[in-house]
Amino acid sequence: MNAAQSPSIAGQARPAGAVSAHQTPDPAKPARVPLLDVRDLHLQFQTRTGVARVLDGVSLHVDRGETLGIVGESGSGKSVLFLALLGILEANARVTAGSASFGGFDLLGSSEAERSSVRGRELAMVFQNPRAALNPIRRVGHQIEDVLLRHTATPRHALQARAIDALRRVQIADPEARYHAYPFELSGGQCQRVMIAMALACEPALLIADEPTTGLDVTTQAAIMALIARIARESGMATILVTHDLGLAGAHCDRIAVMHAGHLVETAPAAELFARPRHPYTARLLASTPYGARSIESLVSVPGQLPDLTRTDLSPCRFSERCDRVLPACAGALVTRDMGEGHHVACHNPC
Amino acid sequence: MNAQRLLAARAGVAFVLRRLAAALPNLLGVVIVTFLLTRALPGDPAAYFAGPAASREAIEEVRHALGLDRGLATQFGLYLRDLAQGDLGNSISTGRPVATELVERLPASLELTLVALVLATLIAVPLGVLAATRPGSMVDHLCRVIATAGVSLPTFFTGLLLAYVFYFLLGWAPPPTGRLDPAFSPPQAVTGFYLIDALLDADAELLAAVAGQIALPAITLALFVIAPISRMTRASMLGVLSSDFVRTARAVGLSRARVLYVYALRNALLPVVTTLGMVFSFLLGSSILVEKVFAWPGVGSYALEALVASDYAPVQGFVLVLAALYVLLNLVIDLAYGVVDPRARFEA
Amino acid sequence: MRRENLLTVVAASLFALFVLLALFGPWLVPYDPLSTSAGASLSPPDAAHWFGTDALGRDILSRVIVATRLDFGIAVAAVAVSFVIGATLGCLAGFHGGWHDRIISRLADTIMAFPLFVLAMGVVAAMGNTVANIVIATALINLPFYIRVARAEVNVRREAGYVEAARLSGASDARILVTHLFPNILPPMMVQISLNMGWAILNAAGLSFIGLGVRPPAAEWGIMVADGAQLIVSGEWWVAFFPGLALMLAVFSFNLLGDGLRDLIDPRRRT
Ligand SMILES: Nc1ncnc2c1ncn2[C@@H]1O[C@H](COP(=O)(O)OP(=O)(O)OP(=O)(O)O)[C@@H](O)[C@H]1O
Ligand SMILES: [Mg+2]
């Protein structure tokens, strides 16, 4: 399948503000069609111990060119959320409700063939642990070419040059030589650059970076983040940054969403979130994390742990068991309140 | 760029030398063990090698020829000297040099073994892949049962069963006697592999006859090693399919076929290549039994004929040649592994 | 899950049956397994001779039953010998390291440098054609597996806390090995044993099939299959079929049990 036949998002939407053919703008609201619009996503895993309801009504949106941060404890469902949007979860995962539109393209309802033609071309994702995320026995240049071959009409003789260009774009020293390298011959930071090069080879409209710097040393972390930020700025690409690191999210993101046990508990512009956290969970996180400091991992101050998601008696608010502001009303259905200024919080008793 | 190429080339050469060096102790071990087997016989090795019907003078002659009247170290030296000259002694029953006879019969055995290996791989790898891509399915269970049943099959028994069904009952296969129906004359010897030689002769009828003759013994042998290969493929494919780099390949939208074959399978086959050593051990061992069942004129039945006649030089020669062949095959597997896995070439 | 349990139950029943036959076979047989009868030679299976008779008119059912003891005996003896020697050598190599380790590992590597069945054949051919030598040869080719398992298991436990504690309290090396390390390596060794048993039977029967070891007229599955081999092409299938089937089922039940045991003891290694 080549690019011409496959559903295109960026192609029709790059001119900022253009509306996709599939979506009629709601006349009641001014046309601000988000690039990614996820509504009420429910997802469960069939496990040996029962059904784990890992995502429970997640809604979020990302605008063109925007950077959204996703933070939350390990196991809160951050990776699963985006793997589900890409449609690359294991066979034991099932989306039970919800919708996801990406520039008018129906991410959850389309066929695998359609989805795979969007993945890597319009919607790209990079992962943590870059060394393991690259094919160990294939030259990195060829891995980039695989992506180009899949999604673009690049003639074979031009492939190598384009792959080397992609490497140059992520500022790898001596890209001609690195083209022939195997992942084990590169450092962790270089591998992450290669993966970013693969992800960006087709100039996607949205890059999902799932903890792209975890496991890299501090200076490399900064360089990788700067690289992603620069490319996003230059090409108008939207970015979702999944991280444990509140400081990192604060430094790089326009808006931040906080996840807890499969719920998006709070979303707000970054400065607003740090200044006025409304969800008790966010408040706890921030109270123990001086702005710009370490990651959630080191936090001991949020007491308790994530509930077992296979339980059938989970309270509608999955934080209530750990919460010191819990009210009788918390046993009622969870609603997300609009606090104004783009600040949303899913809590009966916000701070 | 050139510097990198040079580095890679140097690593490649170092790798080959390292593998060669690692094979040498094994070869030496094999030679020592076969030497000990010829000397550490209960009773009188000279009488043993001279055969049951030998006269006293003949025994003394053998004793002197083998150096058995000298010290063990000297004997080993003589043994090495003989080996270096390709001298494995003479067969008593035929009076010909063992080495010559083994060389004549080796192609028949190799052809059978390789055809069986190819056949087994062609069946086992797809089976393992299918099982791994559908864990818990019918194919998966089938793979498990075949794997366990396969290693439980006594090859000589399956061979007989196949011969009974396909020759006696159905009449589809030619009689289980040898490499070629006596009505045909063998193809012109180029490689010694009848299948290839018949192909080179461009003789379709002959090729069909040769293929028909090799089919049953090769299937018998293959059945025995399908189990380990498919098992290994399944296990390693399962591991690879849940690996990070396969997730990356899917995340960039590569087609299912490309993810499965270029990304997953190639990596999954690496551990399978390393188990080929064990597979060859099985194949070479069971080929003796299969050769006996199908009167296949290879080195195995040569050794067995000699064994029955209490003619021991051919038996010892056979053990040595097969062990040396096995060391060589393992070396080839190691080198092949270095070709498919770049990491192996670089490790210290 | 349930399907696997069923298989394991089938395997265990088969195994129990074979054990019974091995123990009490000689008292259960309908005919004398050695008595020949020229009149009744090569009669196909019928009500009198369920498995038919062979070329000498011997009852095949009786011979198959009686052979169980010999075949199992050889395999059990061979595996026991390799277990004892292999565990000892492996423990020494794993515990002391250094030159102990180098020599013992080299020994294991040298055995593994042969195609194993070929080595067994060479050993029996050189040492003489007896049942004892079949046991020795089969034990020899199993030895590397036990050495390697024991060595690896001892190696990872050598520095374990309880070993250090025993050492500090003044226990001798031998004592530590026997009382602290050996019990810990038993479970993986048991798995190895159960996986090896089937293979040991196959090897022993294979050696008899090519005329090594057991001698006629003794009843043994491998020899009986060999006896029937020439008759296959003339249609007398039962002579080779029933002993071959018994051999196959015995090995199959061992392998299934071995798999089950491995899943039980070490679920991670399941394939
Ligand atoms: N294939 C699977 N089968 C069953 N449960 C799964 C599977 N994959 C993930 N989960 C569960 O889903 C939950 C969310 O996992 P996820 O990987 O999204 O967490 P995360 O927020 O990304 O954590 P981290 O910060 O450690 O990456 C966890 O409880 C995890 O155990
Ligand atoms: Mg994650």
Q: Are A212 and A252 in contact (CB under 8 A)?
A: no
Residues 6+ away with beta carbon under 8 Å from C90: C104, C146, C147, C148, C149, C150, C151, C153, C154
pLDDT beyond 80 at C64 = yes
The CA–CA distances, whole Å, from B223 to B227, C190, C237 equal 7, 28, 21
Give φ, ψ of A207 to 5 degrees. Answer: -110, 125
Pair B168, C233: CB distance under 8 Å: yes
* Band of residue B43 on the pLDDT scale cut at 50, 70, 90: low
Distance between CA atoms of residues A232 and A254, nearest Å: 13
DSSP calls for A118-175: HBTTTEEEE-S-HHHHS-TTS-HHHHHHHHHHHHS---HHHHHHHHHHHHHHTT-SSH
Q: State the pLDDT at residue A17.
A: 35
Residue A18 confidence (pLDDT) above 50: no
Q: Give the tens place of pLDDT for each residue, B92-111.
A: 888 899 999 999 999 999 99
Structure-token pair, residue C94:
């794993």
B245, B262, B342: residue with CB nearest A134 = B245
Average pLDDT over residues A9-35: 49
With CB atoms and an 8 Å threshold, state whether B304 touches C237: no
Q: Where are the alpha helices (DSSP H) in B1-154?
A: 2-39, 45-50, 56-65, 72-84, 98-133, 138-152
In a domain, B132, yes or no: yes
Residue B75 above 90 pLDDT?
A: no
What gap in Å lies between CA B150 and CA C252, rounded to an integer?
Answer: 9
Is A118 in contact with B1 (Cβ distance < 8 A)? no
Segment B63-76 mean pLDDT: 79
Question: Is the CB–ligand 1 distance for residue A54 below 6 Å?
Answer: yes
* Chains touching chain C, criterion 3+ CB pairs below 8 Å: B
Residue B212 domain flag? yes
Residue A164 pLDDT: 95
DSSP conformational letter for A77: S
Residue A269: pLDDT band by 50, 70, 90 thresholds?
Answer: very high
Element (H, E) at A267: strand A263-269
Cβ contacts of A127 on chain B, cutoff 8 Å: 244, 247-248, 251
Check which CATH number belongs to the domain holding B119 and give it: 1.10.3720.10
Could B34 and C122 be called an inter-chain contact, meaning their C-beta atoms sit closer than 8 Å?
Answer: yes
Distance of CA A248 to the CA centre of its chain: 14
Residue of A83, A88, A186 to mutate, interface with B, max B Cβ within 10 Å: A88
In DSSP terms, B246 is beta-bridged to none
Q: What is the mean pLDDT of residues A93-112?
A: 91
| Residue corresponding to tokens 């593998």 | B19
Opening angle at CA C205, ends C201 and C207, nearest 5: 120
Write down the pLDDT at residue C269: 53
Q: Determine the distance separating the centroid of ligand 1 and the alpha carbon of C64, expressed in angstroms.
A: 57
In a domain, B285, yes or no: yes
**b/e burial code for range A83-101 (CB count within 10 A of at least 16 → b):** bbbbbbbeeebebeebebb
Confirm or reject: Cβ of A45 under 6 Å from ligand 1.
Answer: yes
Q: Is the Cβ pair C232, B168 closer than 8 Å?
A: yes
Residue B215 pLDDT level (bands cut at 50, 70, 90): very high
Range name among A68-77, A164-173, A308-317, B232-241 with the lowest pLDDT average: A308-317
Whole-number pLDDT of residue B1: 52
β pairing state of A123-126 and A206-210: parallel
Give tens-digit pLDDT for A45-64: 998 888 999 999 999 999 99
Residue A78 CB–ligand 1 contact under 6 Å? yes
> Tokens in use for C130?
């007896």
Instruction: Give residue A137's pLDDT band: very low, low, confident or very high (50, 70, 90).
Output: very high
What is the overall mean pLDDT for chain A? Answer: 84
Is residue A111 within 8 angstroms of chain B, CB to CB? no
B22 occurs within a structural domain: no
Q: What percent of chain A has pLDDT over 70?
A: 86
pLDDT greater than 70 at residue A300:
no
Give the DSSP per-residue string, B295-317: T--SHHHHHHHHHHTT-HHHHHH
Tens digit of each residue's pLDDT (9 = 90 or more) over C94-123: 888 889 899 999 999 999 999 999 999 999
Confidence (pTM): 0.85
Once rounded to an integer, what is the mean pLDDT over residues A149-174?
91
Q: How confident is the model at residue A102 (pLDDT cuts 50, 70, 90)?
A: very high
Q: Pairing relation of β-strands A123-126 and A105-106?
A: unpaired
Phi and psi at residue A42, in whole multiples of 5°?
-115, 135
Is the pLDDT at B254 greater than 90? The verdict is: yes
Tokens of C136: 């020795």
Per-residue pLDDT band at B40 (split at 50, 70, 90): low
The answer to whether residue B18 is domain-embedded is: no
Region B117-134: mean pLDDT is 91
Residue B83 lies in a domain: no
Residue B215 lies in a domain: yes
Instruction: Kindly list the partner chains of chain A, i.e. chains with 3 or more CB atom pairs below 8 Å.
Output: B
Least confident of A222-226, C79-83, C139-143: A222-226
Cβ contact B–A (≥3 pairs, < 8 Å)? yes
Q: How far is CA B3 from CA A180, A287, B7, B122, in A?
A: 12, 54, 6, 40
Tell whether the model's pLDDT for residue A27 goes beyond 50.
Answer: no
Residue A309 clears pLDDT 60, i.e. is over it = yes
Confidence at residue A4, expressed as pLDDT on a 0 to 100 scale: 41
Helical spans, DSSP H, in chain A? 10-13, 78-86, 112-118, 130-133, 140-151, 156-169, 175-178, 188-200, 218-235, 246-252, 270-275, 280-287
Least confident among A118-127, A273-282, C262-271: C262-271
Q: What tens digit of pLDDT does each residue of B296-327 get? A: 999 999 999 888 887 888 888 999 999 999 99
Domain that includes residue B319, residue range:
106-344
Q: Which of B252, B258, B343 sits opposite A119 (nearest CB)?
A: B252
How many B×C Cβ pairs under 8 Å? 166
Minimum CA–CA partner of C206 in chain B? B289
pLDDT at A23 over 70: no
A54-101: pLDDT as tens digits = 999 999 999 999 999 999 888 899 999 999 999 999 888 999 999 999
Q: What confidence score (pLDDT) does residue A209 get?
A: 94
Q: What is the mean pLDDT of residues A297-311?
A: 70
B19-33, B193-207, C143-157, C183-197: least confidently modelled range: C183-197
Q: Please answer yes or no on whether A127 and B251 come within 8 Å at the CB atom.
A: yes
Which residues of B fall within a CB distance of 8 Å from C113? Answer: 26-27, 29-30, 323, 326-327, 330
CA distance B166 to chain C (A): 10
Report the pLDDT value the prediction gives residue C103, as an integer from 0 to 100: 92
- At residue A81, the pLDDT reads 94
What whole-number distance in Å separates Cα of residue A166 and Cα of residue A141?
9
The total number of structural domains that make up chain B:
1
Q: How confident is the model at residue B252 (pLDDT cuts 50, 70, 90)?
A: very high
User: What pLDDT is recorded for position B171?
Assistant: 84
| Alpha-carbon Rg for chain C in angstroms | 22
Q: Are C206 and B156 within 8 A, CB to CB? A: yes
Instruction: Dig out the tokens for B82 from the structure.
Output: 């003989």
Give the mean pLDDT of A273-283. Answer: 90
CB–CB of A94/A53 below 8 Å? no
Residue B281 lies in a domain: yes
pLDDT at A31: 53
**What residues of C are in contact with residue B286 (Cβ under 8 Å)?**
117, 206
